[in-house]
Amino acid sequence: MLKPYNYSYSKIQKVQSFVNHVMLDVIFNAKNIAAVTFSSILVLPKYRNLIDGINNDYVLTPLAEAYIICKTLNRTQIKLLKTAVYNNNKIRELCNGDIEPVKYDQIEAIDVNLKKAIKTFCDSLYDHCIKRAPFYTEYEDINAYYKTVVKKSSVCKCCGIHKVLTQFHTHRSALDHYLPRKHYPFNSLNFKNLIPICDICNGKYKLSEDTLYITNNKGKKNESKTRTVAFYPYSRTTHDIEIDITFNKAFDSTIEPEDIEIDITSTGSTDKITSWDRIFGIKENFKAECCTDEMRMYYEEQYIADMNFGKTHEQYIDILERNKYGDMNFLKIPFLKAINK
């Protein structure tokens, strides 16, 4: 992605401790607990209302189902489940390829009903529980948290083109599960896995695309998965991304994406660039933007006008490079260079 998000520490992030406690200390420890069935009395007092104060279908029932199944599992199976909790919440290490995740299909291989129960619990936490009073009174309203992350910035940091709603709107844009909750359990409320994202990136491109695995020969008998790496969205380091644009015909109002070649590079981050493009359709978005009336009008109205006031091509680009990430200059700079070619 163009720029990482600033991770804003907030009370709401502590909800992950509830998930870790329930799973590691109770559900996956069921064989060592005398109680035959699960109830909120088995968890720490501070967490009991997060179970009793929520619709049973969202929390109590799936946890009770998982508890009974886990009483029958062997050490190897329990170890895998615990690894899923530990590893799947280390978002930075997963993105960098330092550790391996545990996916739902691995849990399904243990017991299909266990997978269903865990998925119901994890999905319900984000879809329903976080919006209920027992959660937002104990932690924080998720909409308030969103505002602390986006603040006044209206540009989507994934594509750098489209807009997100800011702290000044009464509504908010989506919080995307960077590692999709469809594939990865136990991190649906890990706020290092939740990023503000524009509706185009979220609803048209990423969807449930697996961030960490490339699908080879999709839909065929020899379909396979290849592990890859990805940008960590809350990195403290901004990657120096270079974009090169080439027009295969003279630029005019008839330019189309097929007439454009785009190369995106970043030293030491080739595979992460590839993942970024695969997940969010970056090159397609950039090509489409270069073909818009707005981009052509920008060139005609601003660039040509400034040239008439005595600025050279290089001087004008130098001005834009002083604020590379402002006003979509990261794309305007290679766009103008391509025209000059």
**282-290 helix and 270-280 helix, angle to the nearest 10 degrees:** 70
pLDDT digits (tens, 9 = 90+) for 189-220: 999 999 999 999 999 999 989 999 999 988 88
DSSP label of 211: S
pLDDT digits (tens, 9 = 90+) for 284-305: 999 999 999 999 988 887 777 7
- What's the CA gap between 332 and 298, in Å, rounded? 9
Comparing C-alpha atoms, which of 331, 332, 341 is closest to residue 264? 331
- What's the CA gap between 258 and 67, in Å, rounded? 55
Residue type present at position 106: Q
Helix (H) or strand (E) run with residue 265 in it: strand 260-265
Please report the pLDDT score of residue 340 as a whole number: 81
Q: What is the residue extent of each domain of the chain? A: 11-214, 242-340
Please report the pLDDT score of residue 59 as a whole number: 98
Please report the pLDDT score of residue 237 as a whole number: 87
Contact yes or no for 27/66 (Cβ under 8 A): yes
* Predicted TM-score of the model (pTM): 0.93
Please report the pLDDT score of residue 156 as a whole number: 94
Neighbours of 8 (CB within 10 A): 16
- Output the tens digit of pLDDT for each of the chain's 341 residues: 888 988 888 899 999 999 999 999 999 999 999 999 999 999 999 999 999 999 999 999 999 999 999 999 999 999 999 999 999 999 999 999 999 999 999 999 999 999 999 999 999 999 999 999 999 999 989 998 999 999 999 999 999 999 999 999 999 999 999 999 999 999 999 999 999 999 999 999 999 899 999 999 888 888 899 999 999 999 998 888 999 999 999 998 999 999 999 999 999 999 999 999 999 999 999 999 999 999 998 888 777 777 777 777 788 888 889 988 888 999 999 999 998 87
- What's the CA gap between 153 and 167, in Å, rounded? 9
Please report the pLDDT score of residue 220 as a whole number: 87
**What's the gap between Cα 303 and its chain centre?**
36
Please report the pLDDT score of residue 314 as a whole number: 80
Please report the pLDDT score of residue 6 as a whole number: 86
